[in-house]
Structure 1
Amino acid sequence: MSTTKQTKPNANQRTALREQRERQAAAQRRLSRIVRTTWIAGITAIAVLIGVMVWAVAGNRSATPAPSSGAVVAPANATDTGALRFGTGPVTVSVYADFMCPFCGRFERANGDYLQQAVAAGSITLDVYPLSFLDQQSGGSRYSTRAANALVTVANADPVTALKFNKLLYSNQPAEGGSGLTNAQLADFATQAGASADVAASISREIYTPWVEQATQQAFASGVKQTPTVQINGTEFTGDLYTAGALQAAVEKAASGAK
């Protein structure tokens, strides 16, 4: 039976072992610091990302006007698609417009008289879609919605007066980015167009604001992407919207059945 004699480490060996353990401990501390720093950085990055996402969602919500909580009251001459209908002619001209849109003003000034005359002559059915998507361009005054509600209020009482009122609003169109006309000014123009005092006074009650908001949503859900958008018998008119005569020629072509 053999035996092995165990010897104790000498002083140099003990020093070497102690230094080795100290190096290992230092390395472990460095590793722990790296792990902890990385973990904190990761949590911070996630928090920043979440903050950016919340800000973006909140920004989009604040840019979109909240729907009115009132009941939707449709005017007398409303269509199921959200238009005000004027006339009963064989050719249907649909106009999607916003009272704050400067290009809609240009379109009205070029074509408004013709459209009124064509309605009166029985040549066309005019569907006007008063949209309110440019509310945020009126300094918080919700001009697009208020002006659209004013037109609908007048149209509900008298369609002929409403077309005159529509022309007056575009003739006195405020600049985009401004606060727009006040309700009192809208009522005054309605009276100038021929609306009764009671009808003009009811504009400020905004009875038709929920209907305007609903109609605006319907229009964009149907594929309308911009204003003015003009359709003839359901097909978008792609000709010159801002020069008198171009739209009239297209309508007359549609009336004749020409291809």
Structure 2
Amino acid sequence: MGTQARTTSRRVREARAQAQKRTQTRHRYAAIGGGAIIVVLLAAIAFVLVDAARGEQSAAPAPSSTAVPAGTTAGGAIVVGSGPVTVTVYLDYLCPFCGRFERANSAELERLVADGTVRLELHPLAFLDDKSRGTRYSTRTANAVATVADQAPRVVLTFSDALFAQQPGEGGPGLTDEQIASIAAGAGVPTDVAATFTARRFEHWVASSTDAAFQRDGVTGTPTVKVNGKLFDGDLYTAGPLTAAITAAKGSA
């Protein structure tokens, strides 16, 4: 074999060796990359399963019960007090603006209920369920408040206040059923009443009341507040303006 032929043969062998080396390298990187992808996928699956397990007991389907809480109106309101001025409040326990309204006005509203000025009509809605990662937090808390209104009405406002005091943020799973029951106990709700929250007895009522608020009452968001049926368009997030409107309504009654 001549020198040129040997040189050509050597170059062919070297090219093949380099090509094989590149192929092996690609396979090695592909295996590493594939392993990394598998690890990521397994981690994602594990996260979903853990998250689902966390919310499973909270995301139970609504029962077929059409029970209505005692002491509520045909329009879906929980009534507290019997004063001459009717204050109607539409709220969702996951709504951050409702939390701001509560912090500014709850003490005054409770005072005005206690002194016989206000008949408070509370509408607990559940339109933010899609903001609690499948646990239906708005529905669960509204059902809990309805349960207390039905069985322990004396402490329903205290319980409502307590829920807002520990309000979770939108986008998370919300509080668990056990945490809601614990808050209820701290607000004076009897243990046997809090134990019935998971029965979801008033979820159908909550859903119907929520639909009625938007379709019949013209509610477009929460909080929505009315004084003697007229929309209050003043400052909802500062103490004082709502009280002034209530006082004026009482004077003109």
TM-score band w.r.t. shorter chain? 0.7 to 0.9
Aligned residue among 185, 208, 217 for 2:179: 185
Deviations 1:206-254 (A, max 9, x none): 1111100010011011211110000000000000000001100000000
Distance apart, 1:122 and its partner CA: 1.1
| Identical residues among aligned pairs (%) | 50
Match of residue 254 from structure 1: 249
Corresponding letter in the other structure for 2:241: A
Report the residue type matching 1:246 in the other structure: P
CA RMSD of aligned residues (A): 1.4
User: How is 1:25-174 mapped onto 2 (pairs within 5 angstroms)?
Assistant: 68=62, 70-174=64-168
Structure 2 equivalent of residue 237 of structure 1: 232
Provide the rounded CA distance (Å) in 2 between the counterparts of 1:68 and 1:181: 18
| 1:217 and 2:216 are equivalent in the alignment | no
- Would you identify which runs of 4 or more consecutive aligned residues in structure 1 move more than 6 Å? none
Aligned residues: 193
Residue by residue over 1:67-114, the C-alpha shift from the partner in whole angstroms, topping out at 9 and shown as x without a partner, is 945121111111000010111100000000001100000000000111
For residue 198 of structure 2, what is the aligned residue in structure 1? 204
Distance 1:169 1:216 in 2: 19
- Structure 2 unaligned residues grouped into runs of 5+: 1-58
CA contact (8 A) 2:62 2:200 kept: no
* Structure 1, gaps ≥5 residues long: 1-64
Partner residue, 1:46? none
TM-score (norm 1): 0.73
Q: 2:119 corresponds to which letter in structure 1?
A: T
Question: Aligned residue for 1:37?
Answer: none
In the aligned structure 2, how far is the partner of 1:169 from the partner of 1:209?
Answer: 18
- Matched residue, 2:22: none
Query: TM-score, with normalisation over the residues of structure 2?
Result: 0.74
Alpha-carbon distance between aligned partners in 2 of 1:82 and 1:101, rounded to the nearest angstrom = 19
Distance 1:164 1:153 in 2: 14
